Amino acid sequence: MLLAKIKEALNSLYEDVQEAPEETPETPETEVTVEETSPEAQAEKSKSGEQEAGPEAEAAAEPPPPPGPREKDYTKKGYHLDVDLPPEKVVAAAEILNRENFFIEAITGVDWIDEQQLEVVYDFNHFAQLCRVVIRSRLDRNNPEIPTISHIYQGANWHERETHDFFGIIFTGHPNLEPLLLPEDADFHPLLKDFKA
């Protein structure tokens, strides 16, 4: 139940993703649009949106695998919902999860050096029902920036600092992005694959 509900709520974010490149490249008002649309309207929008997006995605050079949150086999993977989002949508996703009373389990990174990308992975879980949601976002490896969610989930503060320590990912708007686990003058990021001790 919770899984279906959160999947639908998160699906609304993909509407903006597909529409955004045509009209406004950067949409800071995404949170507002999410709140205004009722669940029914979102469902309708998502149906029509997917139909529209199909040809467009094919026209583009690399068609992303069907957009939207993907359900995973829990027994094999250990989580239920896998959500790929562009960095600017992560805050809106965190707000949706916060409204549904999810708690944050961890934030971490993965260095995909072959693709010149850094991935940020957010693990969310729920106290009342078993529902693990993974939010991920790919960043440019040479300019890794993503907005902070530490104003929504205060626990994210340390997780983001740790991810900054290890990968050099910059969480814009973070109140105190100082080294936490590494020495205070550390200028290296040990979990990058090209890190040499």
- List residues near other proteins by CB under 8 A: 75-79, 101, 103-106, 108, 110-111, 121, 123, 125, 127, 130, 132, 134, 153-155, 157-158, 166, 179-183, 190-191
CA distance 72 to 88: 24
Q: Provide the minimum distance between the beta carbon of 179 and other proteins in the complex, in angstroms, as a whole number.
A: 7
Instruction: Tell the residue number behind the tokens 């960043």, with chain if given.
Output: 139
CA distance 136 to 84: 5
Q: Residue 100 has which token pair?
A: 């549904």
Residue in 161, 153, 151 with CA at minimum distance from that of residue 181: 161
Q: Provide the minimum distance between the beta carbon of 163 and other proteins in the complex, in angstroms, as a whole number.
A: 10
CA distance 162 to 186: 12
Q: Provide the minimum distance between the beta carbon of 57 and other proteins in the complex, in angstroms, as a whole number.
A: 23
- Taking a C-beta distance cutoff of 8 angstroms, is the pair 34, 45 a contact? no
Report the residue number, 86 or 155, with the smaller CB distance to other proteins: 155
Report the residue number, 53 or 146, with the smaller CB distance to other proteins: 146
Q: Provide the minimum distance between the beta carbon of 127 and other proteins in the complex, in angstroms, as a whole number.
A: 5
CA distance 195 to 9: 39
Report the residue number, 53 or 97, with the smaller CB distance to other proteins: 97
Report the residue number, 15 or 164, with the smaller CB distance to other proteins: 164
Q: Cite the DSSP H helix spans in the chain.
A: 2-19, 30-36, 39-59, 74-77, 90-99, 156-167
Q: Residue 191 has which token pair?
A: 């979990």
Q: Provide the minimum distance between the beta carbon of 80 and other proteins in the complex, in angstroms, as a whole number.
A: 10
What are residue 112's DSSP bridge partners? 117
Report the residue number, 20 or 182, with the smaller CB distance to other proteins: 182
